[in-house]
Amino acid sequence: MPVYMVAEVKKKDKQKYNNYIAALTDIIARYGGRYLVRGGRVTPLFRGRELERRHPDKVLIVEFPSAADHRRCFTSPEYQALIPLREAGAEIRAVLLEGYAPEK
């Protein structure tokens, strides 16, 4: 079953973040992932203090064929090497969602 990683990004250092995303793109593809949303305008739909405080610079949605593929990607040595760059470049809040499978 496909899974979806949804990440809200608040940039701290634009160059470091861009370097992180450039390297991450190849790693994600290597593990079967693909971007469904990568940046673009973020338009809040509902008002509330929580949303106004968060107001991310970017939102990413990445699809993986399975949770195992996602786990292999983000525990891989090549991704682990990117963690310092990620932490220097942005604050990222991410969740993993299971895809919808209607009951038969």
Q: What is the pLDDT of residues 9-19, one digit of tens each?
A: 999 999 999 99
SS3 14: helix
DSSP state of 81: T
Q: Is the residue at 42 inside a domain? A: yes
Task: Compute CA distances 57 → 38, 39, 99, whole Å.
Answer: 11, 8, 25
Cβ-based neighbour number of residue 8 at 10 Å = 18
* 34-38 and 90-98 strand pairing: unpaired
pTM of the model: 0.85
Q: What is the pLDDT of residues 28-68, one digit of tens each?
A: 999 999 999 998 887 777 776 665 566 788 899 999 999 99
Q: Is the residue at 82 inside a domain? A: yes
Identify the domain containing residue 90 by its residue range: 3-98
Q: Which long-range contacts (CB under 8 A, 24 or more apart) does 48-51 make?
A: none
Q: Is the residue at 103 inside a domain? A: no
Q: Is the residue at 92 inside a domain? A: yes
Domain count of the fold of the chain? 1
Quote the mean pLDDT of the chain.
91
CATH of the domain at 49: 3.30.70.100
